[in-house]
Structure 1
Amino acid sequence: MKNIYILGFDQALASAITGVLDLFALAGVTWNRIQSTQPTPIFNVQIASANGEPIRCINGINLGAHVSFDEIKQADALIIPTIGGPIEHVLANNPALIELIQTANTKRWILAGNCTGNFLLAHAGILNGKQATTHWGFKDQFKKQYPKVNLTAEFMLTRDEHIYCAGGGLAWFDLGLHMIERFVGFEIAIQTAKAFVIDYRRDSQLSYSLMGLAKPHKDTLIKDVQNWLNLNYAKNISIDELAERFSVSKRTLIRRFNQSLDMPPNAYIQGLRIEGAQKLLEESEMQIETIMNKVGYEDASSFRRLFKSKTGVTPSEYRSRFSRR
């Protein structure tokens, strides 16, 4: 059997521990029971804590540990769950966890971090020069703290050599299924996904993320332009016309947009249009072509291509996943 250890710590997200534990522990078990065949456990999965003591998760639940970090002599994989509390506090208060991650990296054990748990991998210094992901809401903080990491926060999963990273808070099931496939093959992974009734091989966080268009700043001109564009983004207006409306040069408008929002005006307008399309897909039953026209696009193929590049899915897929009706 494969030995998997989930590295627990105070203020971890409980579901990122118990959920992935269930996933590994029941691989080869639940599906077999459904099919009336002999259950065949594949993984021996245990929770570890610094001293073998219970950990107190962010929701107030105490989870018992099977072993201490020092008792881990050999592992097929170590899993670092989501940080549910203040990230800096958790990083500062878990030196034993950081040390174990560094030791495991030296031994080339598989290391897998989930969501903000990847801050612990980066803090241990093992992600420098490697591709990684984290929760889309923390990507700016991650980039600022760990500039040597090749962060691709649009991805749900990354793998660089023996290190895996998963993006969202509940991406532990994407991570677990991927690791199950890596260890024992696609058939067992897909059986486990079916047994748990969860999607397999989601590849992007983009459809879940916000575009960050409302970044705070102090430029009153750009605030005025934003307010106007929020009401008129569907109109066919050029950047030259926009600059003229607000009595500045095109060059000045672009420069101040970049300084205030880290993007040029045309990218901002695109973002508003895609967000407008997302809202209509969620809340209405309009035809996609009608929605496309309402947000300022005329060419269907261009709209679909842009929508997918921004959200990771097609408009139809987005509606199927997020429609409120």
Structure 2
Amino acid sequence: MKHYQIAVLAYPHSLLSAVYGFAETFELANEACKTTGLEVRITTHILHMEDLQAELDTQSHYHAVLLPPTLNKASYSVKNTIINNFLIAQHQHGAILCSACAGAFFLAYSGLTEKRQMTTHWALEALFKERFPKQAIDTSKILINQGDIISAGGMMSWMDLALELVQALTNAHIVRQLSKTLVIDTGKREQRYYQQFQPNFDHGDAAILAVQHYLQGHFAELKSTENMAAFAKLTPRTFLRHFAKCTGLNPNEYLQRIRIQAACDALEQTTLPFESIALQVGYEDVGSCRKTFQKIMGLTPSAFRKRFVSSLPR
């Protein structure tokens, strides 16, 4: 019989539905193992902050350590020394370190992920990049498994993470049984299907902010970089440099993101055909709009509408 010991860190303000959801999912996996005769059992240990120092002192070893999401920014805004030391010690003894959503910040603070690619919630991407500029991150992915480091994106992606860990410790058949019991779709999906473009307006550059505000109301108009630079009263070269620094995108990419977000909203909120939507958001070539939409969102416009719109008023 193979026994796996899993630690779930119930740090302050962690999402309790995820903390206990992990434990319940692994218990259901144990039941599936018993039913199929697989000689594997998973024991979950929910560790609170007061437990971690004792764990460090006794040098307890776990096969995996899970960091659940949190709704409280203060929980991950600064490095927590005890959590950091615990993660490093467990990793040195072979533990798989796993994070969901904002839990990725704790892993990045440890320095153990610098040569690994990670994901986190798409809405946390800007803050994550600001805090960890050298860390490779791809928030289009729901889950990234780097072997000894597994990270999951959105707040409910702890379920994806739990199933991924179950598969690593058991087999695909157990995961299929578990997904049927939980009625969870294990089909391929990406986090970018759900992302919304949220421009950064909090950068302090008044000239760039004026251009951003103008684009929010005039994104359907064709605006060249020279036009935008003139609006900002900057030379084109200076404008490009400042715009990229403030927004993380060049002006054309930024304009495309605004337009595609508007297209997403129209697909969800109206019954207009995509050809009409493409013209409304500023594309003269519908094919170009469709290609850009799929590149950014990871879905065709029709697939996007099918996924997110159950019914619309006629």
TM-score by length of 1: 0.80
Higher helix share: 2
Deviation at 1:265, TM superposition (A): 2.1
CA distance in 1, matches of 2:127, 2:227: 36
Q: Which residue of structure 2 lines up, in the alignment, with residue 133 of structure 1?
A: 119
1:290 and 2:251 correspond? no
Q: Deviations over 1:25-80 (max 9, x none)?
A: 11264799xxxx78988432231234459xxxxxxxxxxxxx96767744332212
Change (3 A) 1:125 1:29: same
Contact 1:69 1:100 in 2 (8 A): yes
1:186 and 2:172 correspond? yes
1:316 and 2:302 correspond? yes
- The secondary structure found in structure 2 opposite 1:26 is helix
1:4 and 2:9 correspond? no
Q: Which residue of structure 2 lines up, in the alignment, with residue 235 of structure 1?
A: 221
Deviation at 1:175, TM superposition (A): 0.7
Deviation at 1:135, TM superposition (A): 2.0
Deviation at 1:134, TM superposition (A): 1.8
Q: Which residue of structure 2 lines up, in the alignment, with residue 56 of structure 1?
A: none
Aligned partner of 1:4: which letter?
Answer: I
Larger mean CA deviation between 12-21 and 250-259 belongs to 250-259
CA distance in 1, matches of 2:286, 2:120: 32
Q: Which residue of structure 1 lines up, in the alignment, with residue 25 of structure 2?
A: 23
Contact 1:48 1:69 in 2 (8 A): no
Deviation at 1:255, TM superposition (A): 4.0
CA distance in 2, matches of 1:49, 1:246: 51
- The secondary structure found in structure 2 opposite 1:263 is coil
Q: Which residue of structure 2 lines up, in the alignment, with residue 205 of structure 1?
A: 191
Contact 1:30 1:195 in 2 (8 A): no
1:169 and 2:155 correspond? yes
Alignment size in residue pairs? 306
Q: Deviations over 1:241-296 (max 9, x none)?
A: 55567776544543443344333221221111101101101111112222222212
Contact 1:51 1:69 in 2 (8 A): no
TM-score by length of 2: 0.82
Of all paired residues, the percent bearing the same amino acid is: 29
Q: Which residue of structure 2 lines up, in the alignment, with residue 87 of structure 1?
A: 75
Q: Which residue of structure 1 lines up, in the alignment, with residue 48 of structure 2?
A: 49
Structure 2: state its 5+ residue gaps: none
- The secondary structure found in structure 1 opposite 2:156 is coil
CA RMSD of superposed structures (Å): 3.2
Q: Which residue of structure 2 lines up, in the alignment, with residue 14 of structure 1?
A: 16
CA distance in 2, matches of 1:321, 1:71: 49
Change (3 A) 1:7 1:257: closer
Q: Deviations over 1:173-210 (max 9, x none)?
A: 11111122222222221222232122225543223333
Q: Which residue of structure 2 lines up, in the alignment, with residue 62 of structure 1?
A: none
